[in-house]
Amino acid sequence: MEALAHKSGFVALVGRTNVGKSTLLNQMIGQKVAIMSDKPQTTRHKIHSVLTRDDAQVVFLDTPGIHKPKHKLGEHLVEVAFSTLQEVDLVLFMTEATASPGRGDRYILEQMQGLKTPVFLVLNKIDLISKDNLLPLIDEYKDLYPFAEIVPVSALKGENTQRLIDVLIEYLPEGPRYYPEGTVTDRPERFIMAELIREKVLHLTSEEIPHSVTVDIERLEKKRDDLVVVSAVIYTERESQKGILIGKGGRMLKKVGKLAREEIESLLGSRVYLELWVKVQKDWRNRPEHFKNFGYTD
């Protein structure tokens, strides 16, 4: 019997901020590779996440959410998201099934007009609407763009995500495995640790704090008897923000550290001693020399 052809390729996830791209990605990969938050603009990096099956390997690129930039870093992130469309075999344009196309959706679709890459419409959060509302919404989107496929899903509950994987693999070319079996992301452990710490800041703080924060792992040392020492700095833009992140008696920083340590231990399969510091780097999001030092270079 002739062996089935092996397919492989690169698939970009694009869409407005906070539509569930990272949730969908984690669902399709089968484990947490991208941080999640109910705050917009959670994803800041173009992350390669890898799904390997016997018949295919899919490399997903979770791009920063497309939004109206308010600073130089925001402009850079939007450029990264749009540049990705030229580099892939397939684009998943993701939006919410709970509302008609908004200005942000229309803006993204306008920018994609003339794109030769096939584009899927992925309508997320179908668990929050009645099926009667789905068909009129699909018709609205069909008038805006010639989608190759339209797949409604619930990223949170995993509904229809397996069908999405099966259909997108049909569109990929025959090709090799780009990553060894067992690889789920191209990012090193240091990067994932920093993102997990930033995720806890997003969950525990509000207002202006989340988007002013970045995290740098300064020390990662494996000790004997199954212990890893991690020293990380949380950078923010103002002294007042530093005070909020530390909290009264250091309580906020302790909460961030406890939650992050638990997830880092799960990631590494080792006991972790986590040291956290908070430092101020004034207006770093508007200073390319700073945000490039923090790894925003893609």
Q: How far is CA 244 from CA 234, 235, 247, in A?
A: 12, 12, 5
CATH number at residue 225: 3.30.300.20
- With cut-offs at 50, 70 and 90, classify the pLDDT of residue 14: confident
pLDDT digits (tens, 9 = 90+) for 108-130: 898 888 888 999 999 999 999 98
| Mean pLDDT, range 52-57, rounded to an integer | 93
- With cut-offs at 50, 70 and 90, classify the pLDDT of residue 214: confident
pLDDT digits (tens, 9 = 90+) for 146-159: 999 999 999 999 99
pLDDT of residue 68: 55
Residue written as tokens 């939004």?
A: 67
In this predicted structure, the answer to whether residue 193 has a pLDDT above a threshold of 90 is no
Domain assignment of residue 183, yes or no: no
How far is CA 240 from its chain centroid? 28
Q: How many domains does the chain have?
A: 2
pLDDT digits (tens, 9 = 90+) for 60-74: 987 665 545 555 655
Cα–Cα distance between 12 and 117 in angstroms, integer?
Answer: 10
**Residue 257 and residue 156 share a domain:** no
pLDDT of residue 44: 45
pLDDT of residue 112: 85
**Residue 198 and residue 86 share a domain:** no
SS (H, E, C) 41-61: CCCCCCEEEEEECCCEEEEEE
Q: How far is CA 272 from CA 121, 219, 229, in A?
A: 41, 12, 6
Q: Which domain holds residue 140?
A: 7-171
**Residue 210 and residue 159 share a domain:** no
**Residue 196 and residue 161 share a domain:** no
pTM of the model: 0.63
Domain assignment of residue 128, yes or no: yes
**Residue 198 and residue 135 share a domain:** no
In this predicted structure, the answer to whether residue 221 has a pLDDT above a threshold of 90 is no
CATH number at residue 115: 3.40.50.300
